[in-house]
Structure formats: structure tokens, C-alpha cells
Chains A and B, each alone.
Chain A
Amino acid sequence: GQNIDQPTEMTATEGAIVQINCTYQTSGFNGLFWYQQHAGEAPTFLSYNVLDGLEEKGRFSSFLSRSKGYSYLLLKELQMKDSASYLCAPLRQTGANNLFFGTGTRLTVIP
């Protein structure tokens, strides 16, 4: 089976740093994606980790520990436009290569 655990909601201040944690259990792991979804819009790709360690991309970084079934998304220099849901999505190594999405973490950035 598969299970994803993320905080439901988080609030952070503009200009600050926020870390969104994700723990997962899945049969056949083949990498992990983070997607951003603004209210009423489709998800958009943020990052993909397949090996352990930190991947940095501008203000966003993503970390993966396969042995611990753990990932986090780090957002620096928060901007108001970063208010969105952040979806952690482990990739299952099934015939479908399909992603398993959790309910996501709704981040609210306040002035």
C-alpha cells in the first residue's frame, strides 16, 4: 500500500523560510515529486528527487532520505505568491509509473 503524511496547513511570514515535511510509505519507490497548486489551478512541477540529498533550485530546495521515507520542501525568502498547496508525490514503481498524491500542505504567507 501507500501512505503520505504532510501537515495540513502552515502559516509563515513574508521574507521568512518555511520547511514542509513529508513522510511516505509506498510499495516500489521510484523517486519523489513536489508540486505546487494554487487555489483553483492545476498543479505545477517544482522538483524531483530520486537520490538522497538536497536539490536546490532558486528559492526552493527539496531533500530526500529514501531510507527514512522522508522528504522536505524548503522555501526561502517567502513571497505572498507562494501561498498555495504543496503536494508531496512519491512515484510508485508500478506498470503505470503513476504518482501518488497526498492531500497536500496549504501554505499561507502573511505580511
Chain B
Amino acid sequence: GAGVSQSPSNKVTEKGKDVELRCDPISGHTALYWYRQSLGQGLEFLIYFQGNSAPDKSGLPSDRFSAERTGGSVSTLTIQRTQQEDSAVYLCASSPRGQSSYEQYFGPGTRLTVT
């Protein structure tokens, strides 16, 4: 079946512009996560959605970052007034129930470059 998809695969933007990154999770997965990975670094948790519960935004690095999930499916991560340090690969993952025993399935990521 279809896995997690993300778009765009690559995004180059100028400093100060806003960007939107999209994630389509696996159908039926109720949990959705956003991470970012800078070059040579580990994955940094950003935000977590579980069903209709309020999202856990504890990993968002600043108020320039926001995310929403419409209809419990597609999610959009928005970065306002991008900075060069925002350059990274943004990974989305989904999980069947958000329980600890369920693995996360990752999408291919969006490589964001801020010039």
C-alpha cells in the first residue's frame, strides 16, 4: 500500500519568505509526527498529532513554526519568515495508534534550503 508521502521533495526559498510543507500519512494512521534533521545531525522532534487531541507542540523551535492537521489526515507545517538556520530535511512520520509499541513510518522528507 501507499506509504507516507511528502511534498515538495525539495524547496529552495529566500530568507524571510514563508514556506508550507505537506505530509500525507498512511491511511488510517491516527498519529502524525514532524521531525527535522540538519546535516549530520539526529532527528529533532517538532510536533505530534494524535487523533482529535490537542497537538503536542513542545518541540517547535520558535513561534515562526506552526502546523495543522485537517480532518485527521493531511498535515501542513508552516515556517514563517524563514531563516538560514531553518535549512534542514523535514521528515513526517505516521503511526497506527500513537501507542509506544507501534513503529513510526517515515516519509521521504522535504529538503528545505534557505538562501
Q: Which A residues are within 8 Å of any B CB, using their own CB?
A: 4, 30-31, 33, 41-45, 48, 50, 87, 89, 91, 93-104
Q: Tell me whether A91 and B56 are in contact (CB under 8 A).
A: no
In the assembled complex, the Cα of A48 lies from the Cα of B108 at a distance in Å of 21
Q: Which B residues are within 8 Å of any A CB, using their own CB?
A: 31, 33, 35, 40-45, 48, 50, 56, 58-59, 91, 98-101, 103-109
Q: Tell me whether A96 and B48 are in contact (CB under 8 A).
A: yes
- CB contacts between A and B, total, < 8 Å: 60
In the assembled complex, the Cα of A33 lies from the Cα of B41 at a distance in Å of 17
Which of A30, A45, A50, A103 touches B41 (beta carbons < 8 Å)? A103
Q: Is the interface of A mostly helix, strand, loop or mixed?
A: loop
**What are 16 of the A-B contact pairs (CB < 8 Å)?**
A30-B100, A31-B100, A42-B91, A42-B109, A43-B91, A50-B100, A87-B43, A91-B100, A96-B48, A96-B56, A96-B59, A97-B50, A98-B33, A98-B45, A99-B43, A103-B42
